[in-house]
Structure 1
Amino acid sequence: MVTDTAFNRNHEYHEAGDTPARLDYRRMAMVVKGVRVVVAALGRSDD
């Protein structure tokens, strides 16, 4: 989990109306790609 603010973006979060249709898969993919870049960069760090 990158953030814990899903309830701010999806008012149905963990409620009956929380269905896969409400998810923004394009944006989720962008986040995953961004996190991957950061983790890879941290793995190459000389620290």
Structure 2
Amino acid sequence: MKAKFKTTCISCNGEINPGKEIAKDNSGKWVHKHCLTEAVELP
């Protein structure tokens, strides 16, 4: 899924800019797709 808004990755504390690939972690927080250890698939 692509980010629609600017936010911060809770995994690496890096910026997530609109258009970047993101995913939800096990706690339901948005992280960079490459920071995710276990993917939670979204439609």
TM-score range, shorter chain: under 0.3
Structure having the larger proportion of residues in strand: 2
- Normalized per residue, which structure has more helix? 1
Whose radius of gyration is greater, 1 or 2? 1
If asked which structure has higher relative contact order (CA below 8 Å, sep 6+), I would say 2
